[in-house]
Chain A
Amino acid sequence: TAGITQAPTSQILAAGRSMTLRCTQDMRHNAMYWYRQDLGLGLRLIHYSNTAGTTGKGEVPDGYSVSRANTDDFPLTLASAVPSQTSVYFCASSGGLAGHNEQFFGPGTRLTVL
């Protein structure tokens, strides 16, 4: 079982360009999340989806958009990248919202915006 996968592993992007970070899970989890991780700041939630067809804004949503057309995929799009979006991006999923439902994390995408 692959679990949760992300692509690409890393990317260097010119400022002003657009990019989509891909995330796919095969655990049939309802909830999916996108975080960014920056040194000294920890993981911060960008967007989330509690179930297919719905999305919501997290703590730092500006400059990012998401879609959730089906259960497995949750792509994150940067419409016009800026250097402050240089970060490591983690996708995560969980089987439920409450109780002992931990989040499972993908391997991450390291993005550098120049």
Chain B
Amino acid sequence: GQNIDQPTEMTATEGAIVQINCTYQTSGFNGLFWYQQHAGEAPTFLSYNVLDGLEEKGRFSSFLSRSKGYSYLLLKELQMKDSASYLCAVRGNDYKLSFGAGTTVTVRA
């Protein structure tokens, strides 16, 4: 089975940086995904990591350490529209995704 942990809530100021951590204990690993979900909407894909290291995509970056079972999503130059839930998901050897409960980020002016 999969056990995926991420903080429930985080608050940050507009223009700041926030780092959302995700730790996982899985029976197999075949990639890690981050999704963004605004309230009342569907999740949308943000990033994918399968090898150790940092993947950068504009204001968002995602890091993976497979040996530590650890990932983080870094959001830079925060904007009000970044207020959302961020979901960490691990794909196991069965190619199915297991999701964490999500981290709700609130950006304050």
Interface residues of A (CB under 8 A from B): 33, 35, 40-45, 48, 50, 58-59, 90, 97-100, 102-108
Please indicate the chain A residues that have their CB under 8 angstroms from the CB of B99 in the complex. 35, 42-44
A90 close to B43 (CB less than 8 A): yes
Residue B42, interface by CB 8 Å: yes
* Chain B interfacial residues counted at CB < 8 A: 20
Question: Which chain B positions have C-beta within 8 A of A106?
Answer: 42
Question: Contacts A58-B96, A102-B48 known; A41 to B42 CB distance under 8 Å?
Answer: no
Q: How far is the CA of A48 from the CA of B31 in the complex (A)?
A: 18
Instruction: Determine how close the nearest CB of chain B comes to the CB of A45; give it in whole angstroms.
Output: 6
Q: How far is the CA of A48 from the CA of B98 in the complex (A)?
A: 13
Is A42 touching B45 in the complex (CB atoms < 8 A)? Answer: no
Measured in the bound complex, the distance between the Cα atoms of B31 and A99 in whole Å is 8
Give bound CA distance, A64 to B97, whole Å. 19
The binding surface of chain A is classed by DSSP as loop
Whether B95 contacts A42 by the Cβ 8 Å rule is no
Distance from A31 Cβ to chain B, minimum over Cβ atoms (Å):
8
Whether B44 pairs with A105 at a CB distance below 8 angstroms is yes
Cβ A42 vs Cβ B96 within 8 A: no
- Chain A residues lying within 8 Å of B89, measured Cβ to Cβ, are 43
| Residue contact A97 to B95, C-beta cutoff 8 Å | yes
Contact in complex: B48, A100 (CB < 8 Å): yes
Q: Which of B30, B41, B43, B45 contacts A43 (CB 8 A)?
A: B43
Chain A CB within 10 A, most for which of B42, B44, B50: B42
Q: Does B101 contact A (CB under 8 A)?
A: yes
User: Are B30 and A42 in contact (CB-based, < 8 A)?
Assistant: no
Is B95 in contact with A41, judged by CB distance below 8 angstroms? no
* Contact call A42/B100, Cβ cutoff below 8 A: yes
Contact bitstring B13-51, A, C-beta under 8 A = 1, else 0? 000000000000000001101000000011111001010
* A48 and B33 alpha carbons, distance in the complex (Å): 18
With a CB–CB cut-off of 8 A, which chain A residues contact B102? Answer: 42
Interchain Cβ contacts under 8 Å between A and B, 17 examples: A33-B97, A40-B101, A42-B102, A44-B99, A45-B96, A45-B98, A50-B95, A90-B43, A97-B95, A98-B31, A98-B95, A100-B48, A102-B45, A103-B33, A104-B45, A105-B42, A107-B41
